[in-house]
Amino acid sequence: MPESPLSLAVVGHTNTGKTSLMRTLTRDAGFGEVSGSPSTTRQVEGVALQVDGRRIVDLYDTPGLEDAGRLIEVLDQIGGERHDGPSRIESFLSSPQADQLFEQEARVLRQLLASAAALYIIDAREPVLGKYQDELAILTMCARPVLPVLNFTASSSARSEQWREALARVNLHAVAEFDTVVFSVEAETKLWQRLINLLDQRGDALQDLIAHRNQQALFQQAAAMRIVSELLIDVAGCERTADKDDAAAQQQASQALQRAVRSAEQDTIKQLLDLFHFTPSDVALLELPIQDGQLRGDLFDQQVLQYYALRVGRGAGAGAAAGAAVDVATGGLSLGAGTVIGTLLGTGIGTGLASGRNLVDKARGRIRLQIDDPTLTYLAGRQLRLIRALQQRGHASLTPEQLDNEESEPTSIWPKDRLPNAVFKARLKPAISRLNNETSLQNAARERLAAELAQVINPEQATNTNRQVDNGSSPRLA
Amino acid sequence: MERRSTNHRVRLPDWLLAETTRRAELKSGEFVLDDAATRAAVALSPATISDRIVLRARRKDASSELQQTIAEALGGLRWAFGILLLLGLLAGAGAAQSVLAADGIIRLSWALMTLLGLPTLMLLIWLLMTFWPRSRQRRRQAGSGLPGRLFWWLSTLLARRLSTHPAKQQLAGSLAEYGRLYGRRLASLATHAFWSAFLLGAIGLLWAAFVGLRFDFSWGTTILSSDRLQALILMLGYLPAWLSGQDLPSQAQVLALLDQQSSAADRSTWAWYLIAALVLYGLLPRMLLMLGFGLAQRNNQPRLDVSAPGYLQLLPVLSSSEAKPLGLQGEPAPNLDRLSQIHERAEAGDGQAVMIGIELEQKDWPPQLSEAVKAQLMNDEQGLPLALGRADDRTARHQLYDAIAVLDPTPRRIIAVCSLLRSPDRGIGHWLSSLNALAPVDLVLVDASLLDARGGDCKSRQQDWAALADRFKLVILEYHDEHGPEVELENGPENGLEHGSGKR
C-alpha cells in the first residue's frame, strides 16, 4: 500500500522567503509570486514533490504571519486548558475574529493543523525580534513538529548563531539552514534529513526523495557537460574557407565564422537554462554577463582575447602552444598560427590545423579559418562558469549575481592544462561539426567525441571566481 | 557510472524507437513539444523519464510505421541469428565429414585437432580479446568474436536493405549505437552460439556415422615419443570417461591405437572417447558461455541515455511532473483593508513631541535625527522630541502606549523611528494606528544603506512603508540614513517635511 504523502506547511513571518523556498524546492521559478514586499502570498498554495510519479511531500505555501503579537493576546483571552494548545487554536478558528482581523493568520493555522509538520522560515539576517518569538509560541500551540529553516544564511549579515540559541531556548533544537538564493544539493539533503529526524516514521519516502534529488543533480551535471561538449566539438571543428589573397573574402569568412559560433553559443545557453529549469526571462535576473539571452562581453572582443592568448600561451604545453607545435612538426607547411594572415590577427581566428587538407587548399590558393585555441578556451570557461552559476542558483533568486568573466585562469579549464584529445580530433574532422554542415550525417562520431570530452572537463575547475552573495559595495539606489 | 540510476531500462524495440525518433528530430532540428504525443506523455506521465520519452515516441504520427520497421529489423536480427546457427551446424557437419575417411579408419588425433582444436583456438582468442587490458571504450568494440561481428554486420545490413521507411538511415544509426553500447554482448552471444552449433553439427554427424557405419581408430605420430602421447591420451580421456560412465581406455588399448589401429573390440571405446571429448572440451564451455550471454542479454535491457542531445530538449517538458501543482486552497483572499483596524489620526496636542524606536538595528538609543528634521521641529517651536524608548516586543509596546496615553498635555506628535530593514507588517501598522489615535504619528525611516548592503531593494521597501503609512493614515517624515550619504529619494526629505507640515 502506498504511503500517503507527507504534508508540510511552509510558514513564517511575512517576506521571509516562504514562496522562495517553494520555488527552490520545486525547481520551478514560476511558482507563486515572489517580491521584496510583504503580504505577497495571500492564499495557501500547494505543490507535490514526486519521485518517479510517487507523491512524497505535499508542500503548502501559506500567507505570512503579520500580527502574531495581538493574536497571542487573543488566544490568551480565549483561555481554556493552559496545556491544550490545539483546542485553544480550534476555538480561535471558530471565533468571528478568525474571519476578520486574523483572516490570514487563521489560514496559516488551519493549514498547519491539516499538515504533519511545519517548516518555519526565518530570515537569518533579522535579529531575533519579539514578534518572531510570538509566532513560534503560536505555532507550537498547534502541537505539530516545527522545523525552523534559516534562509539567507549565505549572507554576510546572517545571524545564524543568535537564531540557533534563541530557538534552542524554546526547545527547537533541530534547525536547518537552507538558502533559497544560493542553492546547494547538500543543503537540501540536510533539510530533508533534519525532517526525517523530527518525524521519524516517514524516513524511507524522504530518503527516496533525497536519493532522487541527488541523482537529479548528478544527471544535470552530466547533461550540462554533454551540452557544453557538443558546443565545443562543433566550434572546434567549425571552419570557413576563403581565397588566400583576397583580404575582403577573408574578412567575410571570418565574420561568418564568428556568427556561426555566436549563434551556437546562444543555443547552448538556451539548452542549459532549460536543463536547470530556468527560463530566458530569468536570465535578465541572472545578471551573469548575459543580456537578452546573450552573453555580454563579446566572445571575439579583442582585449579579452589578447588577455587570454597571453595566459594560455604562458603555461608550458598549454593549448595554444600545442597548436603551434603542429605547425612546427609540419615544417610550417600547414599555414598555421605562425603564418596567420595579417587581416585576421587578434580576431580569435586562426587557419586551422587540418594540415593534410591544408596542403591541398594551399595548392588551390585557399585558406581554412578556424576558431583559435584561446577563444575556444575562453568559450569553454564561460560556459562552465554559467553551469556552475546555474547549479548554485536557487529558483527564488531575485538579486543579481556577480560573475566575473576574466578573472579565472583559463588553462585550468582543461585537464593537464592542454586541449583535450577530443578537441584536437574535432579540429581535424570539420565534417562532423554541425556548424559546417547542418545535416551532418556523422552524428554518431560527434556524439562520441562530445561524450569523451564531457568525461574530462569539469565545472569545478572553472570556479576560482569568488561568488559575492551579499556585496556591501556599490550602492544601487534609484 | 552514477548517472546510470537516472537512465532506466526499456525494452529493446522501445529503445530503438526512442533512439531513432531522437536521431530523426536531431537531424531535422525540430522538436515539436506541443503535439498530441508530448501531451500524452505529460498527461499519462509514466514513472520514469525514460518511459515518458518512449511513450512520446510511440504516440508520434510516424510511429506505427517506424515500429513496424523496427520489428522487421529485429526480425532480420533473428534471421541473421538463425542463418548463423545453420552455418555453424553445416560447418561442423562438414568438418566432421572430412575426418570420416573413406577407408573406415578415423585418425583420432586429426579428428580432435579439426573438431576441437579450431573452436578452442577461437575461444582462446576470444578470451584474449575480451580481457586484454585496454581503454574501456576500445574494449566495448573489440572482443566480440568474428562470427559475432559478421552477425552484427549482417543484421544492420539487413535492416538497411529491407527497410523502406524514410527513417531507415536513423534506424541504422540507432542499431549501430546499440551495437556500440551493447553489441559486444550480443555479438559474443552469437559467436558462442555459432561455435556451439558447429560442435553440435560435428557431434551429430559423428554420432550418425558411428551408429550406422563401422570405423576403426588410429593415432599416429611422427616425432613424438609414444610414452608422452600415451600419457596425453589418457589425460585427455580421464574426464570424459568419468563423466560418460565409460571405462578409461586401458594401457593396452592405447598402445594398440598408437601402434597400428584400435582393435575391433575397442571401437566403441574410442568412439565414445572422441564424442565425450568434443562434448566436454568443446560444446560444454561454449554452451555455458552462450547461456551466460543469453541470460545477460535477456536480463539487461538497454538504458536510454537521457543526457544525450535530443533527449535533453524533451526534458523541460517531460520532467515537469516532478513537482505537481496542487492548486490554491480555500477562499480567495479578502481585501487587505478588511484585515486592518484603522484609527483616525488625532489632532496635534500642545505637549513636547515624543520619539519611539521600533525594531531598530542599532543598539544605541536615542538615534541621531537628521539636521533637516531637527530644523523642522525647532521651526515649529516644538523643541527636540523626548526620547521615550524602544518598542521591540509586546510588553514594551504596551508600556509605551500606556505612557503616551497618560501624557498631559498630549504631545504635538509622535516621531516613530523605523528601520527599512524590516518589512512593514500589519502588527506594526495596528500598533502605530492605535498610537495615531492618541497623537499624530510621523515616521522616520532609517537604515537604507544597511538594506542596500544586504542586497535589498530600497526603493520598493520605501514604497511598502509608504503603502503602510497610507493605509493606516500615518505620515512619513523622512527617509534618513545615518550610515550612508544623504540619498535623493522619491519621497525625499523635503517632500516628506512639506507633506508632514502641511498636514498639521
ipTM of the shown complex: 0.73
- Give the gap in angstroms from C-alpha B306 to the nearest C-alpha of chain A: 8
Query: Which residues 24-83 of B have a C-beta within 8 angstroms of A?
Result: 26-27, 29, 45-48
**Per-residue pLDDT, B64:** 84
pLDDT tier for residue B203 given thresholds of 50, 70 and 90: very high
Give the range among A139-143, B228-232, B424-428 with minimum mean pLDDT: B228-232
Question: What is the percentage of chain B residues whose pLDDT exceeds 90?
Answer: 12
**Per-residue pLDDT, A328:** 33
Other CB atoms within a 10 A radius of the CB of residue B326 amount to 17
A271:B313 CB<8 A: yes
Task: Reply yes or no on whether the pLDDT at B379 is more than 60.
Answer: yes
B460:A36 CB<8 A: yes
B11-61 residue pLDDT tens: 888 998 998 888 888 777 677 777 888 888 777 777 778 888 888 888 888
Task: Reply yes or no on whether the pLDDT at B89 is more than 90.
Answer: yes
Burial class (CB in 10 A: 0-12, 13-18, 19+), A343: middle
Task: Reply yes or no on whether the pLDDT at B197 is more than 90.
Answer: yes
Highest mean pLDDT among B235-249, B305-319, B389-403, B481-495: B389-403
**Per-residue pLDDT, B285:** 92
Query: Who wins on pLDDT, B194 or B217?
Result: B194
Query: Who wins on pLDDT, B312 or B445?
Result: B445
Mean pLDDT, chain A cut into blocks of 10 residues (478 residues total):
80 85 81 68 84 85 87 82 78 81 86 91 90 89 90 85 90 86 85 88 83 84 88 87 78 82 83 79 47 45 50 36 34 35 48 51 68 78 81 66 45 70 83 73 75 78 37 30
**Per-residue pLDDT, A396:** 62
| Residues whose CB is less than 8 angstroms from the CB of residue B240 and which lie 6 or more positions away in sequence, other chains included | B246, B272, B273, B276, B277, B279, B280
All three cell numbers of B7: 537512465
| DSSP state at residue B281 | I
Contact list, B457 vs chain A (CB under 8 Å): 36
Task: Establish if A475 touches chain B: CB-CB under 8 angstroms.
Answer: yes
| Residues whose CB is less than 8 angstroms from the CB of residue B128 and which lie 6 or more positions away in sequence, other chains included | none
Query: Who wins on pLDDT, A462 or B354?
Result: B354
Which residues pair with residue A47 across a beta bridge?
A: A59, B325
Task: Reply yes or no on whether the pLDDT at B355 is more than 80.
Answer: yes
Of A275, A441, A470, the CB nearest to B455: A470
Nearest Cα to Cα of residue B312 among A230, A395, A18: A230
**Per-residue pLDDT, B485:** 44
**Per-residue pLDDT, A390:** 82
**Per-residue pLDDT, B198:** 95
**What Rg value do the Cα atoms of chain B yield, rounded?**
47
Contact list, B325 vs chain A (CB under 8 Å): 46-48
**Per-residue pLDDT, B351:** 83
Task: Establish if B335 touches chain A: CB-CB under 8 angstroms.
Answer: no
Of A47, A133, A444, the CB nearest to B173: A444
Q: What distances in angstroms separate CA B257 from CA B115, B222, B253, B274, one per listed residue?
A: 19, 14, 6, 13
**Per-residue pLDDT, A429:** 79
**Per-residue pLDDT, A404:** 44
Give the range among A147-156, B213-222, B289-298, B492-501 with minimum mean pLDDT: B492-501
Task: Establish if B464 touches chain A: CB-CB under 8 angstroms.
Answer: yes
Contact list, B173 vs chain A (CB under 8 Å): 443-444
A187-242 residue pLDDT tens: 889 999 999 988 877 778 888 888 888 888 888 888 889 889 989 999 888 888 87
B176:A37 CB<8 A: no
Of A46, A66, A110, the CB nearest to B425: A66
B459-504 residue pLDDT tens: 888 888 998 888 888 888 877 665 544 443 333 333 333 333 333 3
> Quick one: average pLDDT of B265-270?
78
B91-147 residue pLDDT tens: 999 999 888 877 788 888 888 888 999 899 989 888 887 777 555 555 455 555 666
Burial class (CB in 10 A: 0-12, 13-18, 19+), B343: middle
Q: What one-letter code names the amino acid at A26? A: T
Q: From A25, which residue of chain B is nearest by alpha-carbon distance?
A: B323
A447:B308 CB<8 A: yes
